[in-house]
């Protein structure tokens, strides 16, 4: 992975551990100050008006070990409910609203997939998992995966052919949910790209089978604890930004206004820990995650993955990570940028070519989900791309 030598502490001697992140300025990070100022102004504007893009947002951008921008805007909690008649949120009195802060945790939604991916890469590095092994080698009772010869690589590249989701939340109990996963056949020919939460759910079962440990333990012991990401973990998180007034018919379950409980209905039905959703985190913790991967799998003295396996994960077409996706990466796309988005309004982008990273956490589903609009994510990434020239 390309990494600037200046990012390492050498003291005049051989390069040693990657330097830890530190607050700074755009200028100190080697980023254009005007572009970073525009980035912050545009993120703040996303939280304003009667129908804002999101109730609250926190943005962090950096280069190398320097955090150039870290700003919060709007509200972590703005509404008490959604009014379907008025098609608008019921606003809390000003004194009851909770402002977004730079340390506010957000429901990461599908950014959780990145942590499941890294947990899988760790098993690849240890030799307990084969990238081209069949899922049936680890989970022979998953009969549909066995019949269609679905591989680990297909799970990581979303080419298993499995449909985007399965209504596990509608199953009466855990046994029925497990049976549904075991018997779910691909809806498209394996090898066809179909983005699917089911890929990461199957991968979760593979990881838990070969390690004999639950996913939350794998993430905590293998990723967040070594990296010092104390604010990252599966819920509940009562201090998190609120998400949706989750009721039918616009949602898939009747749960009311959510704050600190996972938004994704399937992850909720599975107890809050799932391969595709369930993690909560802050921008600063996610910056550490980005920094570690940009430094080949190490941060300070901690090592979560070897450089060769980071390179394998982020090489085209990408394992778990999306690569060069202009719809949310803007002008960062086209040169090996990697990242992901989450349904709740989250996104993360890393650009190895310029050693830059951008995290945008927002609660766009507060007070109710809407059709996805990734324009603001792409524009924020474009600001960073322009700043890094």
| Residue where a domain stops, chosen among 214, 246, 275 | 214
DSSP 370: -
Asked if the model's pLDDT at residue 13 lies above 90, the reply is: no
363 and 278 co-located in one domain: yes
Asked if the model's pLDDT at residue 1 lies above 80, the reply is: no
89 and 164 co-located in one domain: no
What tens digit of pLDDT does each residue of 216-237 get? 999 999 999 999 999 999 999 9
Asked if the model's pLDDT at residue 324 lies above 90, the reply is: yes
In the chain, the number of structural domains is 2
20 and 169 co-located in one domain: no
222 and 349 co-located in one domain: yes
Residue 16 pLDDT = 55
356 and 370 co-located in one domain: yes
Asked if the model's pLDDT at residue 3 lies above 70, the reply is: no
89 and 35 co-located in one domain: yes
Residue 9 pLDDT = 37
16 and 126 co-located in one domain: no
* Spatial CA neighbour of 282 closest among 327, 239, 221: 239
CA distance 329 to 285: 20
pLDDT level of residue 12 (50, 70, 90 thresholds): very low
What's this model's pTM, rounded to 2 decimal places?
0.95
Residue 50 pLDDT = 84
Asked if the model's pLDDT at residue 196 lies above 70, the reply is: yes
The enclosing domain of 64 has a CATH number of: 3.40.710.10
Return the CA Rg of the chain.
20
Residues of the domain holding 157: 117-214
293 and 341 co-located in one domain: yes
| Residue where a domain stops, chosen among 214, 240, 261 | 214
192 and 256 co-located in one domain: no
Q: At what angle are helices 174-183 and 197-211 packed, to 10 degrees? A: 110
27 and 40 co-located in one domain: yes
The enclosing domain of 150 has a CATH number of: 1.20.58
Q: Is the dihedral of CA 281, 32, 351, 329 positive or negative?
A: positive
| Residue where a domain stops, chosen among 192, 214, 236 | 214
Count of alpha carbons within 13 angstroms of residue 31, beta-carbon side: 31
Asked if the model's pLDDT at residue 209 lies above 60, the reply is: yes
Tokens at residue 347, please? 């996104």
262 and 131 co-located in one domain: no
Residue 7 pLDDT = 41
What tens digit of pLDDT does each residue of 102-122 get? 999 999 999 999 999 999 999
pLDDT level of residue 372 (50, 70, 90 thresholds): confident
127 and 164 co-located in one domain: yes
For the chain, what is the mean pLDDT?
A: 95
Q: Give the residue carrying structure tokens 């085209």.
A: 316
């Amino acid at each position: 992975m390309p990494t600037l030598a200046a990012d390492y502490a050498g003291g005049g001697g051989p390069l040693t551990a990657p330097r830890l992140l530190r607050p700074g300025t755009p200028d100190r990070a080697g980023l254009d100050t005007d572009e970073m100022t525009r980035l912050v102004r545009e993120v703040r504007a996303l939280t304003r008006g009667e129908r804002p893009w999101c109730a609250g947002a926190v943005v962090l951008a950096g280069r190398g070990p320097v955090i150039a921008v870290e700003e919060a805007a709007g509200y972590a909690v703005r509404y008490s409910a959604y009014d379907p008649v008025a098609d608008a949120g019921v606003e809390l009195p000003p004194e009851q609203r909770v402002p977004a802060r730079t340390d506010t945790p957000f429901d990461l939604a599908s950014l959780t997939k990145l942590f499941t991916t890294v947990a899988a890469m760790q098993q690849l590095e240890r030799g307990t998992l084969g990238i081209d092994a069949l899922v049936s080698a680890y989970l022979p009772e998953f009969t549909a995966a066995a019949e269609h010869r679905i591989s680990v690589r297909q799970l990581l590249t979303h080419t298993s052919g499995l449909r985007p989701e399965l209504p596990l939340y509608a199953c009466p109990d855990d046994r029925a949910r497990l049976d549904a996963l075991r018997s779910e056949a691909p809806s498209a020919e394996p090898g066809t790209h179909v983005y699917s939460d089911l890929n990461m759910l199957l991968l979760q079962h593979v990881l838990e089978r070969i390690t004999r440990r639950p996913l939350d333990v794998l993430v905590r012991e293998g990723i967040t604890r070594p990296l010092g990401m104390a604010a990252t973990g599966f819920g509940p998180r009562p201090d998190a930004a609120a998400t949706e007034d989750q009721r039918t018919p616009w949602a898939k379950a009747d749960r009311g206004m959510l704050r600190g409980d996972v938004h994704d209905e399937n992850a909720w039905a599975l107890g809050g820990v799932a391969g595709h959703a369930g993690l909560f985190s802050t921008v600063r913790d996610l910056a550490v995650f980005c920094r570690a991967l940009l430094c080949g799998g190490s941060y300070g003295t901690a090592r979560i993955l070897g450089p060769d396996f980071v390179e394998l994960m982020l090489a085209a077409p990408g394992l778990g990570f999306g690569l060069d996706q202009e719809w949310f990466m803007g002008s960062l796309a086209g040169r090996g940028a990697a990242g992901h988005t989450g349904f709740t309004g989250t996104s993360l982008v890393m650009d190895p070519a310029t050693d830059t990273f951008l995290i945008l956490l927002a609660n766009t589903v507060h007070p109710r989900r809407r059709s996805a609009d990734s324009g603001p994510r792409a524009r924020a990434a474009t600001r960073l791309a322009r700043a890094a020239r």
